[in-house]
Chains A and B, each alone.
Chain A
Amino acid sequence: MGVTRKGVDKFVVLREKEAAIHLLPGLFSAGTQAEWSNQNRTLIFSTHPLNNGCALAVAGKKPREHLSNECRVFEQDEKVYACRMESVPDERLPFIYDSHAVFVSLQKLMRAADVDLQEVGTERMSVGISSLLQMSALYREAMLRQVRVLQDAPKQSEFISSEIDMFQSMHAAWHLLEIIYLTTNMPGLSTSIVPHFMGWLNFNFPAPLAEEGQRILDGSPSADVLAANAALWPYLKKLALRGHVTTMANMLERIAPAKALSTMASRWAREIARIARDMPLGSDEETAGSFNARWRLWNAELQNTATAIRSLLLPDNETTRPADTALESLHSIVDVMRGDDDAISALGETWQDIMGATLLYSEPTAQADRLPTLTTEVTDSFQTSDFSVLDKALVALLNHDLPEFLVYCNQIEPWLAAHVTDIMDHINILGICRKVFAVDPREHYILALGEIYMSHEDLWRVGLEYLGMTNSKAGTLVMGEYAMRIPIESDRKAEQILRICDKYKLGRAKDRIHRQLGRQKWQRGRLGAAIGHFAQVSDHRSVGQVCDQLWNEYLESGNLTYGPIIDGVLATGLKHDRLQFLTRYRDFHVCYNLGDYVEAGRILLSILTNEIAPPYAVPDLLVDTIPLLEGDALVFSSNDTFELIRRAEDLIRSPEEPSLSPAANTTAAIIDKSELSLFNVACARNLARSFVAM
């Protein structure tokens, strides 16, 4: 996908990945390409229409070295290698099905909201945002469930762990998008992003780990041992940095009685624990002004504490022993909590740590639009070249640089890019990206995802639905092309594909599939089913051809056996001249066999006079009238007989074009001279009888 934004061409380069894959076992051994091509041999290949597969073959003869010495002729190399790249691992299927369900519901929801919007004129955003938030939570739930399933997998492998990493990355990116664009847009007085950001940070990048705290506590039953634990202070600092102030306060109170601590350190540990517990927390019911007032008081208390501890730590202060690590650590904890940038930067290991602590302690009422400035300040001190794709995606998102975010999302996983663009479209923030990208990003990424799914045997339906949900002309076109190429193994699958064609109005695809199925059934000798398919697309020519085949089979065998076939077809409500002819002709035979000659004659005459019979069948029909003309009972009136004679004369005057006849043996289709004279005699006799009867 091309990106047209000026000066941003790095994405284009990143996307043009090339990889040489050596097939094993392959056409030639690795490293012998040059030698191989010198033999003037070449490969032919063809790509699979649906998946990332291709068929490879050597165009030419088998090389000398592969043949035995006795062999004097060069054999053609007839081996075909089918290769395929697995783009959707089976382990991902439950997630794909789950997220597809959410995707479908989301589209339905938004369509319903659109209808409401048109009917009632209500504000769509206010209606939709809480539902969108629910859907977003469902997507995240699906990702987390997948992570749990993978973690519980009996066999752990490198692949599984990379999948887990991928899903965790996806969750982190999605969750951040959710809090910036959905959670903080919910109605309520507090629009601060800080509590949500901390929730996001501690959920996706948990630190310090709960197990770490447990280990420290387990190994240290008493306050003294605890205070001596080397891991304690770094752990406490981390707690402060991540805003786990209650846990930190509990721990501080636990170590306060330790003898190893100086009196001052114990006193300040208790004091800091108390202040930490008093940390103001915002709520939806409180206005920013009232919260700020409380926060200022709390912060002033921390400032005082910090000043007091700092004075104790000064080298000229005699009340403290030199190098009181506990007090120093307490000092840095207080510095972090009062929002001192230097202290935070010193303690924070990752940019997320620093970002979180800065937001929490220096800008507790910051809103989402403050994030870009802050992110730039924080990430400036880091080497962005060391950032992972996830880091880059998150930074882009925090910078509100949605186009860049999308590109990185796509690098994490195409699923993410597709669903992110979709939800962005529903929140009405995709407009910025539309100006930047050469094509519509939602359409592009969803199409790409749909095409990936099409390569999996079980996911054709999910893939088609994604293609259809792009709601674009391109999507429908691509969908039509895929629908025509899905292998149809069973009648039910054919029916399902045709349903989808109906749903998305893929007329051309439907037409092609019916014709293809019709041909296939015809080849397999299923004439009734073949007629059914041809009739669906009004392929009268093919229906006629199949009917001709039925007629010929009758002529050859002399047995009228096509009855059940046309009955099966007629039950579907199909109407076609040729079929009508075959039905009427069958009716004629039924009446004739039952001895109802008058009715049989009437049917035969109606076939001839209504001209529903194909021209090549007329001679046989006329011959069929002879026994009725010659029979004991008078079947045809004088008018009827004149009509029969007229038909016979038409036939003689314009003899049937041999090419129009379906039978190869064209003479059979033209009325036999001797039969003609028999017919003439029969007509003459019948006329005489009918005049007498009149």
Chain B
Amino acid sequence: MSLQVQPVARRITAVAWLPPRAGNAYNDADLHFVTGSGGKHRELVLWTTVNPDFDNDTEGAQDSADERPLASLIAKVAHDGDIHGIAALSDIVATVSSFGTISIYQADHGHSDDTSRLALRESITAHRFANSERASGTALAMQPVDSPDAEVASCGEDGCIAYAQVSRLDALQQHEVDSTVITGICWPTPAQTAISTRGGQVKLFDRRTPADVSAVFVSPSTSYAFECIAAHPSQSFRLATGTDSGAVLLWDTRNLKSPAMEVFNVHGSNVWDVQFDPTNSGRIVSCSDDATLAVTQWSTDGADASSSARDVRRVSSFFNVLSVNCLDVCPFTRSSIIVAGSDSGNLLIEKSTNDDDFQLF
């Protein structure tokens, strides 16, 4: 199935799925996600869409499904600054903005949509330059622990990483760790963070000694500027980064001195967001300034990682010609559902149920 487009007339800059209300072990018939926009309309919006696992209807019903919108807006709230990163933890939504603030919102996506709302709980300025100008935050990641005391880590153009507990933002810790712009952040394990920099470095940090870099990786042959980073959902030594030249780099950091790195040239321009598909971690999903999404199969389970297994499926829409800024793959469904947002004012949704539509490079 190709990319479906819903015009929303907003430049969508960040997106994240909310965990199911019924808990991670169960599943809801409706899924919820939040989007953040930038530019003239800075808003945090809560959407709902049908869970594709429950959408196994017949041809006739498919026609009626075509008429209803892909996603329905159920709540929105104005946001201070462009939203550059969103992370969700049960009913908590954390954002980082172009003003360098981390904000925590309470998302009440109640059982009836009338009661759904988003409310700002707390916010704090986390990123400032040396001359006290506010620095733009660039990305945000939630510590992968299922606890209300989880930490949120943000990075910014000031070269700082900021850590704050979602329950207590005022206990913010900031550490300057890079001289260029930090473009992405992720948590390979609950005790480790990794960042990507515009200077072409991947740095690892131990959460217990947050100011000291525990390892630095650079590409040995070509120099890249990194735009984003993602951690493998289960193998903490695997990282993926997106570059300014349209490549997706897959890192194996088991050997900290000389990590193995593989390059997939999947896009024609800057890769803005990258993620391991949580439903099939042998795939990397990426989005780019060239207005496409790409699903890269980097390994097949059980089979040898031979070159023939390396397939890339590019997804684009005729009605979306500007940069795809952000994506999130829903980790709660059996069939893959990707939501992405673009500069063309579109919400993009890609649902795929079968794996047979892969094409070779």
Select one of A105, A458, A525, A528 contacting B131, CB under 8 A: A525
A529, CB-defined interface residue at 8 Å: yes
In the complex, the answer to whether A97 meets B7 with C-beta atoms within 8 Å is yes
Distance to closest chain A CB from B199 (angstroms): 4
List the B side residues contacting A566 at CB < 8 Å: 179
B198, CB-defined interface residue at 8 Å: yes
B269, CB-defined interface residue at 8 Å: yes
Q: Return the CB mask of A593-616 against B: 1 if under 8 Å, else 0.
A: 000000000000000000000000
List the A side residues contacting B177 at CB < 8 Å: 564
Distance to closest chain B CB from A381 (angstroms): 45
List the A side residues contacting B225 at CB < 8 Å: 572
What separation, in Å, do the CA atoms of A529 and B270 have in the docked complex? Answer: 18
In the complex, the answer to whether A529 meets B198 with C-beta atoms within 8 Å is yes
B277, CB-defined interface residue at 8 Å: no
What separation, in Å, do the CA atoms of A423 and B86 have in the docked complex? Answer: 42
Distance to closest chain B CB from A109 (angstroms): 11
What separation, in Å, do the CA atoms of A662 and B196 have in the docked complex? Answer: 34
List the A side residues contacting B218 at CB < 8 Å: 571
What separation, in Å, do the CA atoms of A100 and B39 have in the docked complex? Answer: 19
A391, CB-defined interface residue at 8 Å: no
Select one of B41, B84, B179, B322 contacting A568, CB under 8 A: B179
In the complex, the answer to whether B180 meets A492 with C-beta atoms within 8 Å is no
Given A94-B345, A499-B270, A525-B131, does the pair A457, B136 have CB atoms closer than 8 Å?
A: no
In the complex, the answer to whether A490 meets B157 with C-beta atoms within 8 Å is yes
Residue of A nearest to B99 (CB): A489
Decide if the interface of chain A is mainly helix, strand, loop or mixed: helix
A569, CB-defined interface residue at 8 Å: yes
Given A457-B40, A571-B218, does the pair A564, B345 have CB atoms closer than 8 Å?
A: no
In the complex, the answer to whether B198 meets A491 with C-beta atoms within 8 Å is yes
What separation, in Å, do the CA atoms of A490 and B136 have in the docked complex? Answer: 6
List the B side residues contacting A495 at CB < 8 Å: 227, 244, 270
Q: Return the CB mask of A85-113 against B: 1 if under 8 Å, else 0.
A: 00000100110011011001100000000
The interface stretch among B56-64, B117-125, B279-287, B313-321 is: B313-321
In the complex, the answer to whether B344 meets A97 with C-beta atoms within 8 Å is yes
In the complex, the answer to whether B320 meets A569 with C-beta atoms within 8 Å is no
Distance to closest chain B CB from A462 (angstroms): 7
B274, CB-defined interface residue at 8 Å: no
Residue of A nearest to B84 (CB): A490
Residue of A nearest to B217 (CB): A571
B267, CB-defined interface residue at 8 Å: no
Residue of A nearest to B197 (CB): A568
Interface size band for A: 35 or more
Q: Which of B63-89 contact A (CB under 8 A)?
A: 82, 84
Max chain A Cβ within 10 angstroms of own Cβ: one of B40, B157, B179: B179
Select one of B135, B178, B227, B272 contacting A564, CB under 8 A: B178
Given A457-B39, A564-B179, does the pair A97, B201 have CB atoms closer than 8 Å?
A: no
A524, CB-defined interface residue at 8 Å: yes
In the complex, the answer to whether A458 meets B11 with C-beta atoms within 8 Å is yes
Max chain A Cβ within 10 angstroms of own Cβ: one of B133, B198, B244: B198
Select one of B129, B136, B216, B345 contacting A491, CB under 8 A: B136
Given A529-B198, A571-B200, does the pair A489, B82 have CB atoms closer than 8 Å?
A: yes
Given A94-B7, A572-B199, does the pair A529, B133 have CB atoms closer than 8 Å?
A: no
What separation, in Å, do the CA atoms of A495 and B270 have in the docked complex? Answer: 9
B19, CB-defined interface residue at 8 Å: no
Given A90-B9, A490-B84, A525-B129, does the pair A568, B199 have CB atoms closer than 8 Å?
A: yes
List the A side residues contacting B39 at CB < 8 Å: 457-458
What separation, in Å, do the CA atoms of A456 and B344 have in the docked complex? Answer: 14
In the complex, the answer to whether A101 meets B320 with C-beta atoms within 8 Å is yes
In the complex, the answer to whether A90 meets B40 with C-beta atoms within 8 Å is yes
Given A458-B11, A526-B159, does the pair A568, B201 have CB atoms closer than 8 Å?
A: yes
A348, CB-defined interface residue at 8 Å: no
Given A491-B181, A491-B198, A564-B178, does the pair A526, B158 have CB atoms closer than 8 Å?
A: yes
A26, CB-defined interface residue at 8 Å: no
List the B side residues contacting A474 at CB < 8 Å: none
Given A90-B9, A529-B179, does the pair A101, B157 have CB atoms closer than 8 Å?
A: no
A and B contact pairs by CB, cutoff 8 A, 12 listed: A94-B7, A105-B318, A457-B40, A490-B82, A490-B84, A491-B183, A496-B289, A496-B323, A526-B159, A567-B179, A569-B179, A572-B223
CB-CB nearest 7 A-B residue pairs: A528-B179, A525-B130, A573-B223, A568-B199, A524-B129, A565-B179, A93-B9
Point out residues on A near B: beta carbons under 8 Å. 90, 93-94, 97-98, 100-101, 104-105, 456-458, 461-462, 489-492, 495-496, 499, 523-529, 532, 564-569, 571-573
Supplied contacts A100-B344, A105-B318, 12 more A-B pairs, CB within 8 Å:
A90-B40, A97-B7, A97-B345, A490-B157, A526-B130, A564-B179, A567-B179, A568-B179, A568-B180, A568-B197, A571-B197, A572-B199
